[in-house]
Amino acid sequence: MSGKALSETVGLFATRAALTPKTIPFWDEFVKRYGTAPVYTGVGAYDAIYVYAEAVKRANSVEPNAVIKELEKTDYVGIAGKIVFDEVHDVKTGPGLQNLLFAQWQKDGARVVVWPKASETGKMIPPPWMN
C-alpha cells in the first residue's frame, strides 16, 4: 500500500470484525476459499439466500405471497448484523441491527472500524495532510 491510503475512510457493511458470531468465521472461510476478502455484495448475497430459504421453509411453499408473509416475519442474525424488515420491506437499521460501518485504512493496510462505537475495532486517526 505504501501508505497512500492511510486514514482513508469508507462506508461498508462488513469487514473482519466481530459484528455478529457469524462475521469472522464467514470472513476467514471466504478468504481461505477465494484468496481475497469478500465485498459487500458477497456478504449481502450470502445472507439473502439464507433469509429467503428460511422464509420458504416457514411458508412450506415457494408461492410468492406465502413467502412474502414469512419474509415480513424475518428476524435473522447475518454476517453484517441482525436482519429485520420494516413495513415497506427495507432492512431496518439502528442499534442491534445491521448498520453501515465506517472503516479507515490504517498502518500496514489494516482496515479498522471507527463507527459505530459498538462495532469499533480501533480509533480514528487524522489524515497525514492535517498535521
pLDDT in tens, 92-111: 998 889 888 999 989 888 88
CATH code for the domain of 55: 3.40.50.2300
Segment holding 34, helix H or strand E:
helix 23-34
Q: Is residue 85 part of a domain?
A: yes
pTM of the complete model? 0.82
Instruction: Tell me, yes or no, whether 119 lies in a domain.
Output: no
How many domains does the chain contain in total? Answer: 1
pLDDT at 36: 93
> What was the pLDDT predicted at 5?
80
For residue 96, being part of any structural domain is answered with yes
Domain presence at residue 122: no
d(CA 126, CA 15): 21
Give a yes or no: residue 110 inside a domain: no
Report residue 90 as a C-alpha cell.
Answer: 427495507
> How far is it between the farthest Cα atoms of the chain?
61
Give me the domain span that covers residue 26: 13-100
Question: How far is residue 58's CA from residue 51's CA, in Å, rounded to a whole number?
Answer: 11
